[in-house]
Amino acid sequence: MAPYAAHSALEPAGASAAQSLALFNQYFGVSALVFALVVGVLGVAVGQKRTTEPEGAPPSPASERKRKQLVAWATAATTLVLLALLVASVSTGHAMASLPAQHPVRVQVVSHKWWWEFRYAVGGPATQFSTAYELHIPVGRPIELELVATDVIHSFWVPSLSGKRDAIPGKHNVLVIRADRPGVFEGQCAEFCGTEHAHMRFLVIAESAQQFAAWRDHQLGSPPPPSDPLRQRGLQVFMNSRCSACHAIGGTEAFGTVGPDLTHLASRKRLAMGTLQNDPSHLSAWIKDPQADKPGVPMPSTPLPADDQRALLAYLEGLQ
């Protein structure tokens, strides 16, 4: 896997993020200049000698004329600066919205409390799959994201690749992104959506076209049925517990849609939308008591006898 990139809008890896950073630099430069001018004028005013006019007396015509001229010049300069910033902002927004999208990879991004689901439609119903937490994309190719929400307003944000775009219940928003170099980029929900908003994270994994195609083909397949007795028992535990009511696993009769698809669970780097590392100890703790690591999450606790717990873990760890 490519190295992790900083979770920062100051290190762009795509055209939209670079345009956004350029606009930020323009605003920052203008703001710094205006601040310096204001401080300079204030310093001059403080250092000037006080007039000899009696206190409470009306200003002389010359002073009043000079004051009006300064106000007029300041107003004109402020108007021009604001107009220039407005033009820069509108033009940047237009450029970001018109990112070329010929032959895009289309992904439906479904936001839930509190996790992200990524649905890939490669062709017909037989070539569709969904995953969670990790959005894989090919480098240099536009990615058309259809943003939808199942409950409340969320906001999709990958600082290194693009600006924010809301996912709103009942509305389909579209965001086009493109990664210009390989990397693993952190994403985050940027709209407060409830208790676990801060833990509603995801990864965007930008890889070569060949790597992306290999990953996609692997995701389209289902893990082979377990062959050893322990994993076979683990599959039975999964199907007979509440797990199968909420989760789907390709090649089995589990078709739940409440929680993430677990077909290739073991190939993911983290659990619980990045809250935990994907290893046996964290997976076991997550199944037993998800509220301990992610309070408010809809997933219920699943206490199991030790033998069933061990068998279930063995089965889930084999879902590559």
Looking at residue 67, what is its pLDDT?
Answer: 77
- pLDDT value for 309: 92
Under 8 Å between Cβ of 120 and 135: no
Residue 14 sits at φ, ψ, to 5 deg, of -150, 165
- pLDDT tens-digit profile of 159-179? 999 989 999 999 989 999 999
- With tokens 């289309």, the residue in question is 106
**Domain count for the chain:** 2
Quick one: 239 and 183 in the same domain?
no
Task: Evaluate if pTM is beyond 0.95.
Answer: no
Strand order in the sheet with 173-177: 128-132, 115-121, 105-112, 143-149, 173-177
Residues 110 and 193 in one domain: yes
Alpha-carbon span 319 to 235, nearest angstrom: 11
For residues 187-206, average pLDDT: 92
Contacts of 222 (CB under 8 A, 6+ apart): 249, 250, 251, 263
Residue 23 inside a domain? The answer is no
Do residues 179 and 197 share a domain? Answer: yes
214 shares a domain with 240: no
210 and 279, same domain (yes or no): no
Residue 127 located in a structural domain = yes
* C-beta separation of 206 from 139 below 8 A: yes
Is 66 within the bounds of a domain? no
pLDDT band at 72 (very low <50, low <70, confident <90, very high): confident
> Higher-confidence residue: 191 or 121?
191
Element spanning 289, H or E: none
- Residue 52 within a domain: no
- pLDDT score recorded for residue 215: 94
Residue 6 has pLDDT above 80, yes or no: no
**What 3-state class would DSSP assign to 56?**
coil
Distance CA 161, CA 200 (A): 18
pLDDT band (50, 70, 90) for residue 68: confident
- Give the residue from 220, 251, 280 where a domain finishes: 220
Q: Are 179 and 139 in contact (CB under 8 A)?
A: yes
Give the structural domain span for 302: 229-317
Interior angle at CA 224, CA 221 and CA 226, nearest 5 = 150
**CA gap 291, 301 in Å, rounded:** 8
Continuous segment of H or E residues that includes residue 270: strand 270-271
Residues 249 and 295 in one domain: yes
CATH of the domain at 113: 2.60.40.420
pLDDT over 70 (residue 91)? yes
32 within domain boundaries: no
On whether both 239 and 215 belong to a single domain, the answer is no
CA distances, 67 to each of 8, 40, 72 (Å): 45, 17, 9
279 shares a domain with 178: no
Question: CA-to-CA distance for 116 and 186, rounded, in angstroms?
Answer: 13
Q: pLDDT by residue (tens digit) across 243-260?
A: 888 999 998 988 888 899
- Please spell the DSSP secondary structure of 177-220, one letter per residue: E--SS-EEEEEEE-S--STTGGG-EEEEEEE-HHHHHHHHHHHH
Report the C-alpha gap between 134 and 116 in whole angstroms: 9
Which residue carries 């009043």 as its tokens? 64
Q: Are 278 and 313 in contact (CB under 8 A)?
A: no
Q: Establish if 46 belongs to a structural domain.
A: no
Q: Give yes or no for a contact between 30 and 80, defined as CB atoms under 8 angstroms apart.
A: no
My answer on whether 242 and 192 are in the same domain is: no
Asked, for residue 167, whether it belongs to a domain, the answer is yes
In this structure, the answer to whether residues 121 and 181 fall within a common structural domain is yes
Residue count (the chain):
320
241 and 275 together in one domain: yes
pLDDT, tens digit, 9 for 90 and up, residues 279-296: 999 999 999 999 988 888
Residue 134's closest CA among 319, 266, 316, 286? 266
